[in-house]
Amino acid sequence: RRLRAISMAVGDDDEAPLLRPASLSGSPGSSEPFERQPDADNQLGANLSSCEEATRVLGLALPIAASECLSFFSFIITTAQVGHIGAAQLSAITLGRSVFHVTGLSIVVGLSTGVGTLAGQAFGSGHFELVGAVTQRAISINVLACAAIVAVWTQLEPLMMMLGQDAALSALAARYVLFISPALVFEAVFFCLKAHLTSQGLVAPLTAAAAAQTLATPLLNHVCINVLDMGMDGVAASYNAVSLLTLLLLAAAVWASDA
């Protein structure tokens, strides 16, 4: 009887929350309903949006990855062809290209990365005239950097000998690096134009230029090394010609995109 009296004395408002119908509010006493969770249609739309975004990213990434692979394949072709000249020449080419990449190409590539950031921001904000201005200034900076790098390369032979390299190998490698110094300028401009295109989402020309580079490399190497019998100097001349070819192709793509 005592328990029955207690239960009758307690009003409906004093019922335990777990026994009462759940409030539609986020806080007790609030009359505002909970926000509805996304329904099946909204979830499907979100999934489709994610798939479209992934497809767009792959559409940009795959051509760039293909162009990089083709560029490295071009170097492998050159190394294989130089191996037929002699062991000393192969060692000199390997050492020279290592010096070229570390002390020259890596610097101009790093300087050209600013184009991707600044030109991309200008393009995204609709200031299209600034995209070309950024690229032009980056090219000027890169060319000046190339002049400083080549000045250091003039003393490359004694520097390599100071580091313990063989005298004959140092002479061959230093001569090769100096002979491909024009390619450094071509590559410096090339990477600025490459960033100019990628900042606008134009990546197909990169793959086309890299494919042309890979196809032209063995042909020009054969002409310069075997037909003209230029030896190491022919390898350098071939690399300069291939670099100029890829630069001209990319410059044509930039001109067509801006027209």
Q: Which residue has the tokens 């007790």?
A: 28
Cα 89 to Cα 167: distance, rounded to the nearest angstrom? 13
DSSP string, 129-173: HHHHHHHHHHHHHHHHHHHHHHHHHTTHHHHHHHTT--HHHHHHH
User: What Cα–Cα distance (Å) separates residue 79 from each residue in 1, 38, 149, 209?
Assistant: 102, 59, 24, 20
DSSP string, 195-233: HHHHTTT--HHHHHHHHHHHHHHHHHHHIIIIIS--THH
pLDDT confidence of residue 17? 46
- Residue 66 CB coordination number (10 Å): 15
Rg of the chain taking only CA atoms, in angstroms: 32
Residues 185-203 as b or e (16 or more Cβ within 10 Å = b): bbbbbbbbbbbbbbbbebb
210 burial level (CB within 10 Å; 0-12, 13-18, 19+)? buried
pLDDT confidence of residue 46? 58
Residue 10 is classified by DSSP as S
CB 174 within 8 A of CB 98: no
- Residue 234 CB coordination number (10 Å): 22
Cα 225 to Cα 82: distance, rounded to the nearest angstrom? 8
Return the sign of the alpha-carbon dihedral for residues 43, 46, 52, 54. negative
Distance spanning both ends of the chain, measured CA to CA: 95
- Residue 178 CB coordination number (10 Å): 16
Sequence letter at residue 211: A
Q: What is the pLDDT along the chain (259 residues), one digit of tens a residue?
A: 444 444 444 444 444 444 444 444 444 444 444 455 555 555 555 565 778 878 888 888 888 888 889 888 988 999 999 988 899 999 999 999 999 999 999 999 999 998 988 988 888 888 888 999 999 999 999 999 999 999 999 999 999 999 999 999 999 999 999 999 999 999 999 999 999 999 898 999 999 999 999 999 999 999 999 999 999 999 999 999 999 999 999 999 999 987 5
pLDDT confidence of residue 67? 87
Q: Would you state the structure tokens that stand for residue 107, as one six-digit string? A: 């610097």
pTM over 0.85: no
Which phi and psi angles does 163 have, rounded to 5°? -85, 5
